[in-house]
Amino acid sequence: MQVSQTIAAKTVAQVLAGKNLTLALESALRSYADATPQQRAVAQDLSYGTLRFYGELDAMLTCLLEKPLQDVNVECLLLVAIYQLNHDKAASHTVVDQAVNAASHHKKSWVKGLVNGVLRNFLRQHEVLKQKALENEVARYSYPEWWINKVKKQYPADWQAILETGNQHPPMTLRINQRKTNPQAYFDQLVEQEISFDRLGEYAFKLAKPVSVDKVPGFTTGEVSVQDYGAQCAAYLLDAKEGMRVLDACCAPGGKTGHILELAEVQMVAIDSDAQRLQRTESNLDRLGLHATLATGDAAEPKVWWDGKTFDRILADVPCTASGIVRRHVDIKWLRREADVGSFVKQQALILPALWQLLAKGGKLLYVTCSIFHEENQQQIDRFLKANADAEQLPLERLQSTNSGPINLHHGQLHPCAEHDGFFYALLQKN
């Protein structure tokens, strides 16, 4: 556990300094090449958990310190340990002992005593600290104040549920490749391997507990993909038909690209501005046994990569704050700044009209974000419709979920919940 705590502390420190969580964890793990697979897995869990509840943990630690710590690594070691004491199932004495042992390697001798004292005080004052955390919204909900205020204003009836959902572990949902298997055959595979699941619609299965992809039946052979149920709406809403020419802009890592191709044999062109991420699209399509014309390109600058032929359908899965998938990317809420919302809005406002010029008359463009912020969603669409007389926003079909009834798109906005993440959809037709 000591190694895992240290790796997690280094990871959290890098994220709080502005680094992406995935890159930060990879960097921290490289420093501990001898760490066992179990230690690495625990380190990842501790990193995610600490950042998920950072607002709460930081408030508690502040109460336990006489003055702010000047050493970020010591501070993050304490945050990780407090996360374990407050949320993990590990024995409290083991957590404290291992954290003290980790602190003993610090070049300053007083650090060991500080860590020991702070954590033992935490155990003594645990209930009092929990009550204090409820008094402060940043601590209570573990989001920055600007984020809380924005969700409050935009979702006055649902803001608490939305914030709390974002702090839960995300579901693992599978999508059937209809070209390689069928729901009943895959149902039987899951039952045979004693993997518990719930059905979400006809072609989606939500696992009761996440498993590694190598343990997902049929994953390596392309019978199934891992894709959030909310994201699976895209291919259905786009309504691509056989033989159509389709563009998937901002396609990486290719989940929606593959789903569209599973549903219909179309002429697929898929672009992304990140060449490395585009390779993931290619490998995903290879695994599924599907093909698309792939190109590196900026969706806002089609003249660089477009061949001049219009598209019948365009999927515009635009860059956004990713505020609807924060439970999968727990670093986002601490890395994003309020000004970033406006930056993404400007980027989206360049992409949407650029792609609109590529759409054939009578064609449809599906605008998608994984955001819950209105500025990136319906407000963006409203501005576009006002500026483009040939654009019409179409009503969205209700999508059936076997267990809970129809998915409620809230006029295009899919709220994050137990079954799926938060997405926004707007289907536009060129008249």
**Whose structure tokens read 């343990």?**
215
- Joined together, the tokens standing for residue 357 give 């010029």
- Active-site positions read 370
| Preceding omega of 253 cis (within 30 degrees of 0) | yes
Token readout for 157 is 């009836």
Instruction: Tell me the residue type at 228.
Output: D
Closest listed residue to residue 166, CA positions, set 41, 20, 331, 405: 331
Distant-in-sequence, close-in-space partners of 387: CB < 8 Å, separation ≥ 6: 353
The Cα-based distances of 276 to 75, 141, 271, 279, 351 in angstroms read 35, 35, 12, 5, 21
β-pair type (423-430, 359-369): antiparallel
Cα–Cα distance, 404 to 29 (Å, whole number): 41
How are beta strands 405-406 and 413-414 bridged, if at all? unpaired
Q: Report how far Cα 134 is from the mean position of its chain's Cα atoms.
A: 26
Query: What's the distance, Cα to Cα, between the start and end of the chain in Å?
Result: 62
Separation in Å, CA 199 to CA 32, 118, 177, 210: 41, 46, 15, 15
Under DSSP, the state recorded for 323 is G
Count the Cβ atoms, other than its own, within 10 Å of residue 36: 11
CA dist 207 and 197 (Å) reads 4
